Amino acid sequence: MPEPPEDTSAAQEETGGWTGWVRRRALRSFPPEQLLPDKQPIYVASWIYVFGVATIAAFIVVLASGGLLALRGPAWWHGSGVGHYVNSLHLWSVEIFMAFMVIHLWGKFFMAAWRGKRALTWITGAVSFLASIGTAFTGYLTQQNLASQWVSTQAKDGLNSVGIGAYFNVLDFGQMLMWHIVLLPLGVGILVVAHVLLVRRHGVVPPFPPKDTHDPDSAVAQGAVQA
Amino acid sequence: MRFAFLPLSPINLDHPGRYVHWGVIQISVANLVLILLMVLLFAAAILLPFPGTRRRK
Amino acid sequence: MSAATIRAHRREADPAAQPWTGPKRPYDLVKEFVVALVVVSILTVVLAALFSSPDDKQLTLAQWAKAAPNDFVATAATELDGTSGSATYGAPYTHDKSAAQKIGPLAPQNWLGVTIPIDSAQDFVLRPLQGAAVAPDLQAALKQWTAASADQQQKWATAYDTALTAVPDTDPAKIAAGDYGPVPVMMTQLLALAQSGGLDGALLAQGRFYQTDYTKPLLFLADGTYLEDLARAQHLGGDQWGMMNETGNYPGQAWLWLYTFWYQVKPFSTSGNADALVWSVMALLSLVFVLVPFIPGVRSIPKLIPIHRLIWRNYYRDVEGRGA
pLDDT-based confidence at residue A215 (cuts at 50, 70, 90): low
Q: By the 8 A CB rule, do C229 and C136 touch? A: no
**pLDDT, mean of residues A114-121:** 98
**pLDDT, mean of residues A148-177:** 97
CA atoms within 13 A on the CB side of A70: 12
Question: Using one digit for the tens of pLDDT, what is the confidence trace for C107-139?
Answer: 999 999 999 999 999 999 999 999 998 899 999
Q: By the 8 A CB rule, do A130 and C286 touch? A: yes
In the predicted model, is pLDDT for residue A47 greater than 60?
Answer: yes
**CA of B43 to nearest chain C CA: how many angstroms apart?**
10
Of A12-21, A40-49, C114-123, the one with minimum mean pLDDT is: A12-21
Which of A48, A51, A98, A92 lies closest to C256 in space, CA to CA? A98
Which of C224, C220, C249, C219 lies closest to C234 in space, CA to CA? C249
In the predicted model, is pLDDT for residue A213 greater than 60?
Answer: no
Residue A107 included in any domain:
no
* Rounded-to-integer distance, Cα A194 and Cα C286, Å: 20
Q: Is C305 on the interface with B (CB under 8 A)?
A: no
- Count: domains in chain A: 2
In the predicted model, is pLDDT for residue C80 greater than 60?
Answer: yes
* Rounded-to-integer distance, Cα A102 and Cα A205, Å: 19
Residue C320: alpha-carbon gap to chain centroid: 54
Which of B50, B55, B56 is most worth mutating to test chain A (most A CB atoms within 10 A of its CB)? B50
Residue A227 included in any domain:
no
Same domain, A120 and A180: yes
Q: What is the pLDDT of residue B4?
A: 44
Same domain, A54 and A123: no
Q: What is the pLDDT of residue A211?
A: 85
- Hey, which residues 47-86 in chain C have their CB within 8 Å of chain A? 47-49, 51-59
Q: Could you list the residue range(s) of the whole structural domain that residue A49 is in?
A: 45-96
Q: What is the pLDDT of residue B1?
A: 37
Q: By the 8 A CB rule, do A161 and C273 touch? A: yes
Nearest by CB to residue C251, choosing from B1, B11, B30, is B30
**pLDDT, mean of residues A202-214:** 87
What is the rounded average pLDDT for all residues in chain C? 95
Q: What is the pLDDT of residue B10?
A: 83
Same domain, A170 and A120: yes
Alpha helices in B1-57 (DSSP H): 29-47
For chain C, how many residues are written? 324
pLDDT-based confidence at residue A227 (cuts at 50, 70, 90): very low
Which of A46, A49, A111, A220 is most worth mutating to test chain B (most B CB atoms within 10 A of its CB)? A46
Question: Using one digit for the tens of pLDDT, what is the confidence trace for B1-57?
Answer: 334 445 568 899 988 889 999 999 999 999 999 999 999 999 999 999 999 876 554
In the predicted model, is pLDDT for residue A96 greater than 60?
Answer: yes
Neighbouring chains of C at 3+ CB pairs within 8 Å?
A: A, B
Q: What is the pLDDT of residue B9?
A: 80
Nearest by CB to residue B45, choosing from A47, A95, A145, is A47
Q: What is the pLDDT of residue C10?
A: 63
Nearest by CB to residue A163, choosing from C111, C116, C299, is C111
CATH (domain of A142) = 1.20.810.10
Nearest by CB to residue B50, choosing from A46, A84, A102, is A46
Q: By the 8 A CB rule, do A41 and A206 touch? A: yes
Q: What is the pLDDT of residue B55?
A: 57
Same domain, A127 and A199: yes
**pLDDT, mean of residues A209-217:** 67
* Rounded-to-integer distance, Cα C314 and Cα A112, Å: 18
**pLDDT, mean of residues A113-122:** 98
* Rounded-to-integer distance, Cα C120 and Cα C143, Å: 19
Q: Tell which wins on pLDDT, B2 or A132.
A: A132
Q: Which chain B residue has its CA at the smallest distance from C48's CA?
A: B9
Alpha helices in chain A (DSSP H): 9-14, 17-29, 32-35, 50-72, 81-110, 119-141, 146-161, 173-178, 184-202, 219-223
Which of B5, B6, B8, B14 is most worth mutating to test chain C (most C CB atoms within 10 A of its CB)? B14
pTM: 0.92
Residue A38 included in any domain:
no
Question: Using one digit for the tens of pLDDT, what is the confidence trace for C260-286?
Answer: 999 999 999 999 999 999 999 999 999
Q: What is the pLDDT of residue C134?
A: 85
**CA of C285 to nearest chain B CA: how many angstroms apart?**
21
3-state secondary structure at position C23: coil
Nearest by CB to residue C222, choosing from A153, A212, A226, is A153
3-state secondary structure at position C36: helix
Q: What is the pLDDT of residue A214?
A: 52
Q: Tell which wins on pLDDT, B54 or C200.
A: C200
pLDDT-based confidence at residue A226 (cuts at 50, 70, 90): very low
**pLDDT, mean of residues A13-37:** 93
Q: Tell which wins on pLDDT, C211 or A223.
A: C211
In angstroms, how far is the first alpha carbon of chain A from the final one? 62
